[in-house]
């Protein structure tokens, strides 16, 4: 979840309300963690919610993860994830089969669209947008560090409230109004990290190929190829970490604007508005220095840089968009709470979410 132009925020990081329960004496330990969300945003108003995760409820190495959030000005966000085995439990292990199911709904009264291209102009036009996403993934670890996955997904998007006089988003924009996407992807990943929740060492490299196809009411037909690489190294002791990331993605075919490659949000370039730069091809590079602050509280300093192109043939090193920033991390047993402030030549952005960016 990203938040825009936040005046003040209370993610209860200063209260450190943490609920962790472990039942020992079992072959498979049952654990659960929860964290509340209380915050104020000038766009979405007062928001309240929380995140909770339960592992090994049925002693099958499974996990149930739930996020619920709502605000006084209309944002509604809910995410449910079921995994067997749990992501962290299966990390570094060879396993014959894993299954993940994710259901996510998000409604924003004030979302952005700036047009297509790396040189698109900034604007203040905002409109309501909501989506429902369903993902089912089957995976197998052929080796402890080599994993293959197949994912089927369905997404339904609704964008409305935009006006033709804006000159950007209109009824002719690909994917405006009501639209749906169905896709099937194959992913191969090499992963030597010591943890998925909070990696301190190791490397991750994965390649994903997806085909979106026309089925039922979905009319989009495009192909997506994505490569991600990340590396983690300890510095000045076990709690100081340098994390690096490189991400490249290309789309070919007919895709709605909500599915295009993007630069700008809490997961890409953190100093820019969400969906700030859109096109079919993108590259992104990031570096983070993660360090301890006090007990379970940590800090980060980061830099992100990236840009988009209409296709891979136009790739170059000019006109990249960069942002710097700093943030806080609060480490629970089963997930990480994240608060970031990003700075760019277009202003300051504040983000509150869960999990490391990479």
At 157 the pLDDT is: 97
Residue 21's domain is classified under what CATH number? 2.40.160.50
pLDDT tens for the chain, 358 residues long, are: 544 433 443 433 333 334 444 434 345 889 999 999 887 766 677 889 999 999 999 999 999 999 999 988 778 999 999 999 999 999 999 999 999 999 999 999 888 999 999 999 999 888 999 999 999 999 999 999 999 999 999 999 999 888 777 777 887 889 999 999 999 999 999 999 999 999 999 999 999 999 999 887 788 999 999 999 999 999 987 899 999 999 999 999 999 999 999 999 999 999 999 999 999 999 999 999 999 999 999 999 999 999 999 998 898 989 999 999 999 999 998 999 999 999 999 999 988 889 999 9
Which pTM does this prediction carry? Answer: 0.89
- What is the distance, to the nearest Å, from the Cα of residue 316 to the centroid of all Cα atoms in its chain? 26
Which residue reads 């820019």 in tokens?
272
322 close to 346: Cβ distance less than 8 angstroms: no
d(CA 55, CA 14): 26
d(CA 170, CA 223): 25
Q: What range does the domain containing 8 cover?
A: 2-354
Mention every residue, 6+ apart, whose C-beta is less than 8 A from residue 162: 113, 125, 127, 169, 170, 176
Residue 90, token pair as written in the block: 């299966």
d(CA 347, CA 336): 26
- Number of domains the chain contains: 1
- Of the candidates 70, 67, 64, 110, the one whose C-alpha atom is nearest the C-alpha of residue 87 is 64
């Amino acid at each position: 979840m990203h938040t825009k132009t936040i005046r003040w925020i209370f993610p209860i990081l200063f209260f450190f309300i943490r609920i962790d329960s472990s039942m020992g004496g079992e072959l498979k330990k049952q654990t659960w963690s929860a964290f509340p969300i209380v915050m104020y945003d000038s766009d979405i108003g007062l928001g309240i919610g929380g995140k909770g995760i339960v592992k090994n409820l049925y002693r099958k190495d499974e996990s149930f993860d739930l996020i619920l959030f709502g605000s006084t000005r209309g944002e509604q966000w809910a995410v449910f994830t079921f995994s067997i085995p749990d992501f962290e439990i299966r990390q570094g292990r060879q396993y014959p089969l894993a299954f993940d199911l994710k259901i996510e709904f998000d409604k924003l009264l004030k979302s952005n669209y700036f047009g297509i291209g790396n040189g698109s102009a900034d604007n203040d036009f905002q409109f309501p947008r909501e989506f429902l996403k369903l993902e089912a993934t089957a995976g197998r670890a052929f080796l402890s560090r080599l994993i293959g996955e197949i994912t089927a997904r369905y997404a339904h998007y609704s964008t409305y409230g935009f006006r033709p006089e804006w000159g950007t988003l209109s009824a002719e924009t690909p994917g405006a109004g009501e639209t749906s996407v169905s896709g099937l992807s194959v992913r191969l990943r090499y992963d030597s990290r010591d943890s998925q929740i909070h990696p301190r060492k190791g490397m991750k490299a994965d390649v994903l190929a997806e085909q979106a196809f026309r089925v039922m009411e979905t009319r989009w037909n495009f192909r997506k190829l994505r490569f991600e690489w990340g590396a983690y190294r300890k510095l000045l002791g076990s709690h100081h970490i340098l994390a690096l990331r490189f991400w490249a993605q290309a789309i070919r075919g007919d895709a709605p604007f909500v599915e295009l490659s993007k630069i700008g949000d809490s997961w890409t370039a953190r100093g820019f508005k969400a969906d700030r730069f859109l096109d079919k091809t993108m590259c992104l590079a990031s570096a983070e220095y993660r360090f301890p602050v006090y007990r379970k509280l940590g800090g980060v300093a980061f830099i992100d840089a990236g840009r988009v192109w209409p296709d891979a043939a136009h790739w170059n090193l000019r006109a990249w968009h960069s942002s710097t920033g700093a943030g806080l991390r609060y480490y629970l047993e089963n997930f990480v709470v994240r608060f970031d402030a990003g700075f760019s030549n277009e202003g300051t952005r504040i983000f509150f979410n869960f999990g490391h960016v990479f």
